[in-house]
């Protein structure tokens, strides 16, 4: 191994978002001429790590050294100049520009003569590149808008690789591509390797990783775990490395063997949301915590929205025990369903509003006397439930945007407690929340189920699913792919096997 040259040296890389320690003192060496897979569960810090390298996020701590040169850049163009480029997960091309303009955005200099852009030359050069890559059906002079998502991804691949970067980052791009597109991408990364340069490859597809990567580095909860040779391991080995964390069991449930009430409070039948979930059916029982797990894009978040009546173009039915059909949000709320979104700042709380108004909003009809709202009554109501959740605040008139993530979530829960909701859909309820508040939320969930309320808990954290759920449904590619009952013997591996 010693004959290999280190191309990229990452030393003590660190990043925090509020209280979330997204990347925790990660040091990795990447050798010249290898394809390095970076894997880990949702939120393990792999994307954040790469986005610091290419300037999308600022570096929180530590240093990147590429070929002896420090890399600390402010944007992608600077990163490109130093030899780092990235193909991102979401759409990376810009509408309203031509294909050639997209490819060379920020790198127009070679085509500029005294402030005049040699557009024909740019288009020729762009077309030459596209042809070299074999994407002859894409025309460099055409508007990017005239191509579909996959072709736009191919343009992005050209944009990221034509300048022969020393390090190419591929961040979960393959999921967006068809088999053909994937093959093109594999050819390109193989060419990068053959050229003595390197690729950082992020993917959830273990089979793909084992086939196409040389080495695999595993991250877990922002920490570096290990690097292995792809030849020496199989899928099960990797899964074991991805999990294997100690479950800080102190604040999870300790009871096992609780019998679930046979009473069904909500039944979901054949629910499909085009492009998101397909033919999902399940029942929620009285007093149970039903866990939903899977990879980020598996459709579990949309399933939560569907139950709350918030999905667009939903097919199938969501029915309460009394026969009420849930098709829109006001009906859902009126019939005692509460929802806490994963996207807390946009969908759960009204960020530029006071704590008071955030708590009272769904309950206004209940609080009104002959349609008249009295400030005193609203204040008392908000105060009562904010206190019940032990929200740390200056007062109920404080704006919620000032609060920490945990306290924001407390306000969200206070709102549904106040509304007296019998069914709670909690999507990633402890995301970005510190241990103390987590504990409080878990305690509350148990208290509520003891009162006969039912909870759907959607979570990207496997220990949380194992620790809190009475029953767990695992989703994959928009469908329910497995069901597990609460049990001491249930392991992370069991769940992961159904996820990937």
Nearer to other proteins, 194 or 312 (CB): 312
Q: Classify residue 331 as exposed, middle or buried by CB count within 10 Å of its CB (0-12, 13-18, 19+).
A: middle
Among 162, 201, 224, 339, binds other proteins (CB under 8 A): 339
Contact (Cβ atoms closer than 8 angstroms) between residue 440 and residue 410: yes
Using the rule CB under 8 A, is 96 a contact of other proteins?
A: yes
Question: Which x/- pattern over 16-55 shows residues binding other proteins (rule: CB under 8 A)?
Answer: ---------------------------------------x
| Integer Cα distance of 291 and 459 in angstroms | 7
Contact (Cβ atoms closer than 8 angstroms) between residue 396 and residue 354: yes
Question: Tokens representing 157?
Answer: 């691949």
Contact (Cβ atoms closer than 8 angstroms) between residue 238 and residue 220: no
Using the rule CB under 8 A, is 398 a contact of other proteins?
A: no
Contact (Cβ atoms closer than 8 angstroms) between residue 261 and residue 305: no
Using the rule CB under 8 A, is 334 a contact of other proteins?
A: yes
Using the rule CB under 8 A, is 95 a contact of other proteins?
A: yes
| Integer Cα distance of 118 and 147 in angstroms | 24
Among 330, 395, 420, 452, binds other proteins (CB under 8 A): 330
Using the rule CB under 8 A, is 315 a contact of other proteins?
A: no
Least Cβ distance, residue 229 to other proteins (angstroms): 35
- Residue labelled with tokens 């890559």: 133
Among 11, 32, 56, 215, binds other proteins (CB under 8 A): 56
Least Cβ distance, residue 95 to other proteins (angstroms): 5
The half-sphere exposure of 205 on its side-chain side, counting CA atoms within 13 A, is: 15
Among 357, 383, 404, 446, binds other proteins (CB under 8 A): 357
Using the rule CB under 8 A, is 135 a contact of other proteins?
A: no
Question: How many other CB atoms sit within 10 Å of the CB of residue 424?
Answer: 24
Least Cβ distance, residue 495 to other proteins (angstroms): 28
Using the contact rule CB under 8 A, the part of the chain among 39-47, 203-211, 284-292, 330-338 near other proteins is 330-338
Using the rule CB under 8 A, is 114 a contact of other proteins?
A: no
| Integer Cα distance of 244 and 246 in angstroms | 7
Given 3-state DSSP classes, what are the helix, strand and coil percentages for the chain, each rounded to the nearest 5?
A: 40, 25, 35
Nearer to other proteins, 106 or 196 (CB): 106
Using the rule CB under 8 A, is 70 a contact of other proteins?
A: no
| Integer Cα distance of 84 and 50 in angstroms | 10
Nearer to other proteins, 236 or 402 (CB): 402
Contact (Cβ atoms closer than 8 angstroms) between residue 267 and residue 326: no
| Integer Cα distance of 230 and 404 in angstroms | 41
Q: Which residues bind other proteins (CB under 8 A)?
A: 55-56, 74-78, 92, 94-98, 101, 105-106, 108, 112, 115-119, 142-143, 145-148, 308, 310, 312-313, 329-330, 332-334, 339, 341, 346-354, 357-358, 360-362, 364-365, 368, 371-374, 399, 415
């Amino acid at each position: 191994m010693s004959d290999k040259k280190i191309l990229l040296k990452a030393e003590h890389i660190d990043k925090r978002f509020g209280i979330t320690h997204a990347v925790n003192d990660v040091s990795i060496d990447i050798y010249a001429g290898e394809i390095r897979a970076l894997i880990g569960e949702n939120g393990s810090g792999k994307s954040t790590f790469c986005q610091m390298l290419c300037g999308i996020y600022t570096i929180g701590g530590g240093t990147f050294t590429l070929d002896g040169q420090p890399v600390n850049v402010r944007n992608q163009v600077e990163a490109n100049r130093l030899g780092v480029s990235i193909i991102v997960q979401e759409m990376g091309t810009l509408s309203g520009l031509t294909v050639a303009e997209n490819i060379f955005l920020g790198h127009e200099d070679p085509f500029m003569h005294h402030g005049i852009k040699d557009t024909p030359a740019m288009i020729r050069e762009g077309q030459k590149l596209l042809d070299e890559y074999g994407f002859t059906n894409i025309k460099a002079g055409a508007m990017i808008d005239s191509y579909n998502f996959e072709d736009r991804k191919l343009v992005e691949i050209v944009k990221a690789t034509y300048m022969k970067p020393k390090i190419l980052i591929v961040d979960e791009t393959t999921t967006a591509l068809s088999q053909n597109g994937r093959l093109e991408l594999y050819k390109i990364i193989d060419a990068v390797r053959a050229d003595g340069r390197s690729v950082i490859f992020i993917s959830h597809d273990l089979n793909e990783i084992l086939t196409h990567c040389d080495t695999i580095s595993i991250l877990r909860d922002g920490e570096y775990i290990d690097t292995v040779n792809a030849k020496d391991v199989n899928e099960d080995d990797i899964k074991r490395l991805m999990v294997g964390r100690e479950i800080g069991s102190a604040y999870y449930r300790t009871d096992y063997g609780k019998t679930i009430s046979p009473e069904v409070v909500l039944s979901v039948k054949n629910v499909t949301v085009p492009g998101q979930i397909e033919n999902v059916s399940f029942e929620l029982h009285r007093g149970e915590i039903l866990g939903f797990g899977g990879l980020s894009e598996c459709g579990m978040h949309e399933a939560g929205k569907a139950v709350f009546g918030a999905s667009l173009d939903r097919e199938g039915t969501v029915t309460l025990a009394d026969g009420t059909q849930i098709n829109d949000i006001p009906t859902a709320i009126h019939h005692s369903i509460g929802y806490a979104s994963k996207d807390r700042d946009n969908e759960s709380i009204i960020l530029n509003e006071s704590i008071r108004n955030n708590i009272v909003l769904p309950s206004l009809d209940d609080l009104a006397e002959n349609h008249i709202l009295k400030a005193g009554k609203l204040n008392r109501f908000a105060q009562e439930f904010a206190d019940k959740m032990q929200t740390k605040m200056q007062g109920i008139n404080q704006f919620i945007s000032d609060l920490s993530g945990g306290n924001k979530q407390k306000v969200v829960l206070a709102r549904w407690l106040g509304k007296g909701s019998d069914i709670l859909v909690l999507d990633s309820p402890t995301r970005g929340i510190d241990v103390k508040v987590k504990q409080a939320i878990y305690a509350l969930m148990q208290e509520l189920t003891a009162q006969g309320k039912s909870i759907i808990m959607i979570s990207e954290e496997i220990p949380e699913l194992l620790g809190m759920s009475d029953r767990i449904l695992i989703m994959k590619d928009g469908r329910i792919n497995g069901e597990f009952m609460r049990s001491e013997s249930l392991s992370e591996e069991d769940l992961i096997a159904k996820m990937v």
